[in-house]
Amino acid sequence: MSKEVTLHKVPRHVAIIMDGNNRWAKKRFLPGVAGHKAGVKSVRKVVDTCARQGVEVLTLFAFSSENWRRPLDEVNALMSLFVYVLEREVKRLNDNNVRLKIIGERSRLGDKLNQLIDQAEALTADNTGLVLAVAANYGGQWDIAQAMRSIAAQVAAGDLSVDDISEDLIESHISLGHLPAPDLCIRTGGEKRISNFLLWQMAYTEFVFSDELWPDFQDASMMAAIEEFSRRKRRFGHTNEQVEAMKGA
C-alpha cells in the first residue's frame, strides 16, 4: 500500500464513528473504560495521519446524546476521560497547528468540562491546520432541531420571513455548517449504521465500514480508508458521462 495519496483525491472532511471500544476491552477481560483509554491512542494516530495527508476537517463522534443511557459508572468514566484528554492533549494539538472545535449540547457536560472546552477552543482558535471537531453529547436530530428553533425565533421576532427559509439558511445554523460537508464517513467495529450522526451534513457522504475495533484502527487503517475513498466516483446526482465531461472542461 502506498504511503501517500494523490492530494486532489484526499477527502476535505472525514467523519468517524469510533465504535468497538467496549468489545475491545471485553476481549481482553478488561473494564470498558480500558477500551476507551486505548481508543485515545487511535485518535492520536488518525489526527496525525489526516493532518499529514492534507485533510482539512476531522470530526470524531465521541459521545452521543443516546450514550447517557449507558451504565452510570461507564458514563462517569467517559466524562473523566474527556477531562483527562482535554487537560493533556490540547497542548500537543496546539503545537501541531490543530484547531479544536466541540459540537453538541454542552449544558449537560458540567462546569469543569465546559471550562476546559472553552479554554481549549480559545487556545487553538487561531491555528490554521487541521480542524478537529469532537462531537460530545451530540445527536443529528438534536442538531436539526436546534437549528429550527434558532430560525423559528428569528421568524417570531420579525427578522426573517417564512419565505427566507432555505437549505442554505438551515445549513448556516447547523453544527459545522461553515465547514466543508463530510466527504468520507468511517465507522469501525463492524456495524453498518450512522447512529444519529451528522444527519443533515452527510447527504452526499461516502461511507467506509471497517470490522476493526476502534483501538485497533490506526495509521494503516486510516490510509486504507482514504485510498478506498480515492477510488470512488462521486456523481452528486449527475451521470457518469456528465462527471467525465466536467473533468475535461
Q: What pLDDT score does 51 carry?
A: 96
Q: In what order do the strands lie in the sheet with 184-187?
A: 99-103, 131-138, 57-64, 13-17, 184-187, 206-209
* Domains of the chain: residue spans and CATH: 7-248 (3.40.1180.10)
Q: What pLDDT score does 1 carry?
A: 40
| C-alpha dihedral sign at 67, 209, 205, 125 | positive
pLDDT digits (tens, 9 = 90+) for 6-38: 445 899 999 999 999 999 999 999 988 899 999
Burial of 39 (0-12, 13-18, 19+ CB in 10 A): buried
Residue 231 CB partners (closer than 8 Å, separation 6+): none
Q: How far is CA 44 from each of CA 62, 132, 143, 145, 212, rounded to the nearest angstrom?
A: 14, 11, 27, 32, 17
Active site residue 19: yes
Active site residue 127: no
| C-alpha dihedral sign at 193, 222, 184, 247 | negative
Supply the pTM of this predicted model.
0.90
pLDDT digits (tens, 9 = 90+) for 154-194: 999 999 999 999 999 999 999 999 999 999 999 999 999 99
For the chain, residues with pLDDT lower than 70 are 1-8, 235-249
Among 48, 67, 114, 219, which one carries the catalytic annotation? 67
Cβ atoms within 10 Å, residue 202: 19
